[in-house]
Chains A and B, each alone.
Chain A
């Protein structure tokens, strides 16, 4: 069983998984591995690591700046994959998902990228600006390397696309909870719950919810019905606000611990 499958299977009927996001190489390359371990200590079930991109069109200011810091510090796609490999020296259990944009991946080549991910112990990849319609070649390469391809759903996804996106996805589905970019805060929990019911009727994959979850309160609300709660900008902002590495690690660990503690027990739901 893949690490991602294993985590969702173990948590089924208990609580939502917690997926923190950090930008790989932010604020510097040496920060990434220690932060990842801190996230695990705080209770992260999976970790999402951003691959730096000069033009992150789906991201708000917090993650844009994080990408810029990472690039300024010399981070590259390859370097971020290497950080995952370094993380795997001490953690063979926690699934790691890379999230990024198409151009750096195409530049490396789908095949080479998939192999590098496999060798480093990456479990899944999200390419924000690559919908399933354009992803046939990438999905083949990923499948051969045993890498999950996680596609996004959004409030604007027409019902007729839900099934085809689900069919293209492996691992889990990522529901973008609001119309907007990362870091937005206009989350409407009731809307998300209603949409998730529709998604579940059409797909057997676990559904993670991200965008707009910024604190233990919103994590708790979404965690009542989602299979995973994804928190990004709020963590990235805290990292940017701290001066020393130790302060930053302690702060992030404390914040993620609070998020995790807030996740409520799942009333046993009919399995999808």
Chain B
């Protein structure tokens, strides 16, 4: 399969593009130019590779979860251990790449939006290392449910700004980061944390995250001498999923599953599953994609137990992969994700992030369906230390209600 996306203007079929206020058009063109140069510059690529190895700890292991496999009673379940990266999630692959680019462009200040706080921590981390100022926008609701990450960001020297307007989650944090960027474009580099936003972000973030799938493909081939039947990854904006999928897009025998957050159930409307619920196509945060909105085009509030998936949109490349049928999108609700969280912790001694737990929940069922001859890879996109308190609080609330 030949797959060359996006086109020169950042379109993945009808999706993507650059829907921003005029003030950001010039800076986005500058970024596009700088990235196009860096991408083919061996010096930049060598710097990135060295940082991946020595600072992030790459390659991350591909781990065969034997007890989890036995529990599911089917396909062998491998975990791509992005949780073992420095800072505890895949997010750092991207922030290292963007920060190196910021340095090349002479920017003095990084800004970021964050939901779970993992992208905020990863941005604050690279800012500390490069001596750059850092401001992270975070919805007030997420600040409350991801408190450990807020403390980490502050320790790293970042300013964490609480966003109190709107739904007070990831989408509002992104609005606020865009407003900051429009005001401070000359000195600021906006580090977007997922494969959404205006061109060139979806392609650039995908490229930085593609190391996940490149490694996993090589590791799996070494281990099994063939390719897996399926890949499974959770989808918030879609960066860990794109990162895992990308190297496998040309392998038609490998099925790709993106797992969205069904929250309290798709029927309840309280979810964050724009692809699965096929809510419609719209424009938010600089790109056209699947999006959750009402009859008047107002963006709908979302719900997920996991802050990192609690977002009404999704990266445009996922919209395209859905439409061309290359990837399938499914959704897992809060309860199933939580069960998967406990299952992995007790069976394998690995505490997964609530985001990744959505992928684990789906993979468990899929493994049983595929049967014992098959194998699949789940992207364990992050570790769950940040979620310990909010899982306890959630379960306490459930018990009280019961």
Contact = CB atoms under 8 A, between A and B. Distances in A.
Interface of A: 52-61, 64-65, 68, 71, 76-78, 101-108, 128-131, 133-134, 151-158, 161, 165, 176, 179-181, 184
B171 A55 contact: yes
Nearest to A134: B17
B34 interface: no
Contacts of B283: 101-103, 106, 129
Given A61-B165, A64-B165, A133-B9, A106 B282 contact: yes
Given A54-B166, A106-B283, A107-B296, A179 B21 contact: no
Given A130-B19, A179-B185, A103 B27 contact: no
15 contacts: A55-B166, A61-B165, A68-B166, A71-B298, A76-B296, A103-B284, A152-B22, A154-B22, A156-B22, A156-B185, A157-B22, A157-B26, A176-B21, A179-B23, A179-B183
Interface stretch (B61-69, B97-105, B174-182): B174-182
B73 interface: no
Contacts, number: 122
Interface of B: 9, 17-27, 29, 165-166, 171-172, 175, 178-179, 182-186, 280, 282-286, 291, 293, 295-299
B175 A154 contact: no
Contact of B165 (A65, A176, A180, A181): A65
B22 A176 contact: yes
Contacts of B178: 57
A154 B29 CA distance: 14
B23 A155 contact: yes
Given A103-B282, A108-B297, A156-B27, 10 more contacts: A64-B166, A102-B19, A103-B284, A103-B293, A129-B20, A129-B286, A133-B18, A157-B26, A165-B22, A176-B21
A202 to B, nearest CB: 15
Q: Which 10 A-B pairs have the closest CB atoms?
A: A107-B297, A104-B297, A156-B26, A180-B183, A152-B22, A58-B21, A154-B23, A76-B296, A54-B298, A103-B297
B29 A158 contact: yes
A176 B25 CA distance: 13
B94 to A, nearest CB: 22
| Most chain B CB within a 10 A radius of its CB, from A68, A134, A152 | A134
Given A57-B175, A104-B297, A181-B179, A152 B21 contact: yes
Contact of B18 (A68, A101, A131, A180): A131
A130 to B, nearest CB: 6
Contacts of A76: 296
A79 to B, nearest CB: 9
Contacts of B166: 54-55, 64, 68
A261 to B, nearest CB: 31
Nearest to B11: A134
Contacts of A65: 165
A103 B313 CA distance: 12
